[in-house]
Structure 1
Amino acid sequence: MKKILFLLTGLDYAGAENQVVQLCRALRARNYTVHLISMVRPSAYIDELEEMDVNIQTLHMRKGIADPRAIFRLKRMIVDYRPDVIHSHMVHANLLARLTRVFVHIPLLICTAHSINEGGVLRNLLYRMTDPFCDLTTNVSQEAVNRYIEIKAAPEHKIVYMPNGINMERFIRSEEDGQSIREELQLGEGFIWTAAGRLAPEKDYETMLKAFAQVLLKFPDSKLLIAGIGPLRGALEELCHILEIAPSVRFLGIRSDISRLMSVADAYVLSSKWEGLPMVLLEASASSLPIVATDVGGNREVVREGINGYLAPAGHPESLAVCMLRMMAHSSSTLAEMGRAGREYVSRTYNINTIVERWERIYEQEDIRPLSS
């Protein structure tokens, strides 16, 4: 029975963390022992992980503050747990794991990036300098892998594309759930757009709201549901008032029933400035929703133009609105067909069972050559 240690920058309600929780569940089902360490105090998924018998620890770091003592805290935890594999996720955890390997034996270290953009020149330089201390870097989209090679954040022979995976059974569209949410939120009978994600600058909800203001000029009964929390909520609510669209936009906060929320929607919209491979696009596709998204990162690896959705340039409300209006002009049967095409594609390409089998081959060192001891 292999012992896997996941090291994360934090444990919050976000795409990378969601993916790690899914990996924990799938690995536990395969009788792996799984341990998880969060650099900062965890704030999400705790009960769910404990139910899986995943041990959770924290390094008690503070966001935005470098603390070299964390290296030695992590070293002690590694010595106590003696993992066969350490799998770190996101830039801060990746760098910490690499530096800690200088002080403690780690049989195999895998570092996963979840975005095409994890920071500027300094972080890319740190990735390059610490690369000798990891066995393999992965990223969640091919576009991101290509970018990391281009900027020399990782050498071509030590970085591979490993997409996120999704449990298809957790996202099955339910008319009953959809009607229940429609009544709960008093949404009426108009077209419903759904969006989910942290209310942060990189998600560029400002562009989404400006695009939706244009949509409302032609479809005044439509609604936009936004699930998530973040530092920009107040500013975004104020923008809704400035744009005079506040009655048509619902900020729902954290929702533990995203699959039900997907069931009420007619289509999904994403306006990010940059991405890796967004879990939420996989969830929307698994829920049989057609998608409008910005053409950044790995989005075009999920959204196939004209088949299950449309792509718009980032930061351009007018183009995003054109794509949304194009989607809304379709008949219900065409929307359903686009949704089916998206679900079938995601099931073939991103099913969590297939993805975990690929991770197992890496953990078993069948696909890579580990560092010399």
Structure 2
Amino acid sequence: MEQTKLTNTQATKKKVLHITYDMRIGGTEMVIKNIIEGNDGSVEMSIFCIEEPIGPWGKDLQDEGYSIHSKARENGFDRSLITAIRKHVRAHEIDIIHCHQYTPWVYGTLAVLGLSTKVIFTEHGRFYPDVSSWKRRFVNPILSMMTDRITAISEATKEALVEYEFLKRSNIEVVYNGIKALQVDLGEIEQVRQQHKLKGGDFVFGTVARLDPIKNQKMMLNAFARVLEKRADAKLFIVGDGELMDELEQQIQILDIADSVVLTGYIPYPKAYLAMFDVYLLSSLSEGTSMTILEAMSLAKPSIVTDAGGNSEVILNKVSGLVTENNSEKSFSNAMLSLINDTDTTLTFGQNALRQFYEKFEQKKMVNNYLEIYAKC
């Protein structure tokens, strides 16, 4: 069922259709949601999902009055999906399709072939380990010729497009993710602290992420066990759910650190936990631009991150946090010990992170960048 948010000036506005997999809770989906909700009204925006169900954020946007259409793609190369997108674009007189991720780009570009509709492709991140194929070496340059603008969410992602997707570096521009700053009531933080029986002197490390091999929480736990050998007052909260839950629970028992680690499971709105952390952790093997790092920065939290993907572009080493060698529990634990033993530096890094957030990663900056791109298409 479609719902459309209309205005009196609708007829003069450009119409932008975001094509994506779905609108479940995730980084790419958060970017789309922020672009739409941060729109100044100069552009009419809608969404076409190529997978179903559309997800909770899709339903939220529908409740706000935005048009969301979906068609679940079939296995293999689904020609009917191309037809469905093309029919939708023509029926709704779409001026620009903004394709998020590779597969939506392929289907979207083919769907508007021969139409006046402009194409924008945004790459939000890469798989680990990154791979390519001989097909893409030939196909992607052709797709690029039919695409008006290509953006990536970090310099690292841009370089991956050059190396693995055979796209010209000069054709790719970086638009960093942006979010609204989180606002958390002190009472919410205290409630979480009391719920988990934290003491006043406890130093809390924490992360918010799906429990997935690419997030490398196993390394994080090993590193934290090293920290506990020297600082028994350390606590670690891992907020999220996923395929590794059972393995992480077993690892915690083997390491004998259950009294100091909390696996909260899935929490829909974990901002109170982020605000409770003294230091935010991200141990990913691969990353584009982590939205939860940005949320932590908006709360003046320093971060310890692995040198993966765009992490070192977001967290400036020894300025807004510490950047460690990728997949090194020794490097990660040393960074954790460094901050737990120097609270003045920890607070300074946090203030630097907050300033950096407003300079570079606030929602309005990202939205304005994309609105400018739309205006030039």
Counterpart amino acid of residue 145 in structure 1: K
Structure 2 distance, partners of 1:108, 1:327, is: 48
1:338 corresponds to = 349
1:110 corresponds to = 120
**C-alpha contact 2:19 2:49 (8 A) present in aligned 1:** yes
**C-alpha contact 2:275 2:296 (8 A) present in aligned 1:** no
Cα distance per residue 1:82-139 (max 9 Å; x no partner): 212111111221222122233x625211110012548521285343342222111110
1:165 corresponds to = 178
Structure 1 distance, partners of 2:183, 2:270, is: 11
Q: 1:138 aligns with which of 151, 157, 167?
A: 151
2:88 corresponds to = 77
Structure 1 distance, partners of 2:357, 2:295, is: 9
**C-alpha contact 2:22 2:58 (8 A) present in aligned 1:** no
Equivalent position SS for 1:86: strand
Counterpart amino acid of residue 177 in structure 1: E
Cα distance per residue 1:310-339 (max 9 Å; x no partner): 0111111111111111111112x4322221
Q: 2:22 aligns with which of 2, 5, 10?
A: 10
Counterpart amino acid of residue 112 in structure 1: T
Equivalent position SS for 2:56: coil
2:160 corresponds to = 147
**C-alpha contact 1:211 1:318 (8 A) present in aligned 2:** yes
Equivalent position SS for 1:177: helix
Structure 2 distance, partners of 1:252, 1:288, is: 23
2:57 corresponds to = 45
Q: CA deviation at 1:151?
A: 4.1
Structure 1 distance, partners of 2:199, 2:31, is: 34
Q: CA deviation at 1:283?
A: 0.9
Identity of aligned residues (%): 23
Structure 2 distance, partners of 1:172, 1:153, is: 42
Q: In the alignment, does 2:38 pair up with 1:33?
A: no
Counterpart amino acid of residue 160 in structure 1: E
Larger displacement relative to structure 2 (310-319 or 44-53): 44-53
**C-alpha contact 1:204 1:273 (8 A) present in aligned 2:** yes
Q: CA deviation at 1:261?
A: 1.6
Structure 2 distance, partners of 1:173, 1:290, is: 17
Counterpart amino acid of residue 299 in structure 1: N
Mapping 1:47-62, distance limit 5 Å: 47-61=59-73
Q: In the alignment, does 2:224 pair up with 1:212?
A: yes
2:282 corresponds to = 270
Q: CA deviation at 1:39?
A: 1.5
TM-score by length of 1: 0.90
Q: CA deviation at 1:159?
A: 1.0
Q: CA deviation at 1:48?
A: 2.5
Structure 2 distance, partners of 1:92, 1:246, is: 41
Structure 2 distance, partners of 1:203, 1:363, is: 33
2:369 corresponds to = 358
**C-alpha contact 1:173 1:262 (8 A) present in aligned 2:** no
Structure 2 distance, partners of 1:205, 1:183, is: 25
CA distance 1:186–1:67, shift in 2 (3 Å): farther
Counterpart amino acid of residue 55 in structure 1: S
2:190 corresponds to = 179
**C-alpha contact 1:277 1:298 (8 A) present in aligned 2:** yes
CA distance 1:247–1:38, shift in 2 (3 Å): farther
**C-alpha contact 1:36 1:57 (8 A) present in aligned 2:** yes
2:6 corresponds to = none
**C-alpha contact 2:34 2:367 (8 A) present in aligned 1:** no
Equivalent position SS for 1:256: coil
Structure 2 distance, partners of 1:232, 1:258, is: 19
Structure 2 distance, partners of 1:341, 1:105, is: 47
Structure 1 distance, partners of 2:333, 2:116, is: 50
Q: CA deviation at 1:31?
A: 4.8
Counterpart amino acid of residue 49 in structure 1: L
Q: CA deviation at 1:65?
A: 5.1
C-alpha RMSD over aligned residues: 2.1
Counterpart amino acid of residue 166 in structure 1: I
Q: CA deviation at 1:7?
A: 0.9
**C-alpha contact 1:259 1:287 (8 A) present in aligned 2:** no
TM-score by length of 2: 0.89
Mapping 1:218-297, distance limit 5 Å: 218-297=230-309
**C-alpha contact 2:225 2:257 (8 A) present in aligned 1:** yes
Q: 1:307 aligns with which of 294, 319, 323?
A: 319
Structure 2 distance, partners of 1:162, 1:302, is: 12
Q: Which runs of 5+ in 1 are unaligned?
A: none
Q: Which runs of 5+ in 2 are unaligned?
A: 1-12
Equivalent position SS for 1:60: coil
Aligned residues: 360
